[in-house]
Amino acid sequence: MTRTHSDKRLVQRMKSGEARAFEEFVDSYGAHILRLTRRYVSNPADCEDLVQEIFFDIYRSIGAFRGDSALTTYIYRIAVNHCLRHCQRNRSNDLPLQEGDDTADTDWRNRPEDSAVKSELKTQVQTALSTLPDLQRDVVILHELHGLTYQECAEVLEVPVGTVKSRLSGGFRRLRDSLRSYVLGDGASASSLAVSLGKQGTNGATEEVSR
């Protein structure tokens, strides 16, 4: 059974009020939602509270989900809106990366000086992300760090696909300018920047940026 079909069946079970179905839903998507909130919120306790709010909202509104978009798109739309409202309430621009995946693909050695560099890189990436305009930040987080397609990003953020592409390109230019002199060097490529950001998916965005 494909993910799409299994999601449809899961939604039907949730709509019918089956308690076990919602437990399975949380098991399937909980880690993704927690990872997303950690891109926006620095306090772990706030992240946990935010995840609970998001799932409660999904639980209340799942009856209105008609399947016009993928379930993941529906989930991310709700989750991003909650994250943005939290940031507005708390006037927080802190965008920490999830512990353990921020530089997971980088070839770091097990030496104290390299651990220090990794920690400093994480701080620099957080700072660079926090300077992006909201839409650029959201597109980078969803597309590059969570692997959503251009179309899925457009549906989540309710903007045209062309806007997603242009904001992603602009966001990467800003990030590359902010980070290249720190560790990436003057000849930094978009692909190396994606690694530094903790990229989780491969969807061709680096080609868009490097043109």
Q: Mean pLDDT across the stretch 150-171?
A: 94
- Name which of 112, 128, 116 is nearest 193 in CA terms: 128
CA distance 120 to 100: 14
* pLDDT on residue 116: 63
pLDDT band of 87, cuts 50, 70, 90? confident
Instruction: Quote the strand ranges of 68-201, DSSP E.
Output: none
Question: Which pLDDT band holds residue 115 (cuts at 50, 70, 90)?
Answer: low
Domain ranges of the chain: 3-90, 112-210
CA 17/CA 19 separation, integer angstroms: 6
DSSP 25-61: HHHHHHHHHHHHHHHH---HHHHHHHHHHHHHHHHHH
CATH class of 3-90: mainly alpha
> Count of residues for the chain?
211
| Cα–Cα distance for residue pair 100/72, rounded to 1 Å | 23
Q: Is the distance from CB of 78 to CB of 85 less than 8 angstroms?
A: no
CA-to-CA distance for 141 and 95, rounded, in angstroms? 10
pTM recorded for the entire structure: 0.69
pLDDT higher than threshold 50 for residue 22 = yes
Q: Given this model, what pLDDT does residue 118 score?
A: 63
Structure tokens at 97: 């990366």
What gap in Å lies between CA 176 and CA 16, rounded to an integer?
A: 48
Percent of the chain topping pLDDT 90: 42
**Phi-psi sector, 155: left (phi>0), alpha (psi -120 to 50), beta:** alpha
* CATH number for the domain running over 112-210: 1.10.10.10
Highest mean pLDDT among 92-96, 115-119, 162-166, 168-172: 162-166
**pLDDT at res. 107:** 45
HSE-up of residue 122 (Cα within 13 Å, Cβ side): 18
64 closest CA partner among 73, 56, 74, 72 = 74
- Residue 58 pLDDT > 90: yes
**Residues 1, 54: Cα–Cα separation, whole Å:** 27
Contacts of the segment 104-113: beta carbons below 8 A, 24+ positions apart: 104/198, 105/195, 105/198, 105/199, 106/195, 106/196
Closest to 38 (Cα-Cα) out of 86, 73, 108: 86
Is residue 192 over pLDDT 60?
Answer: no
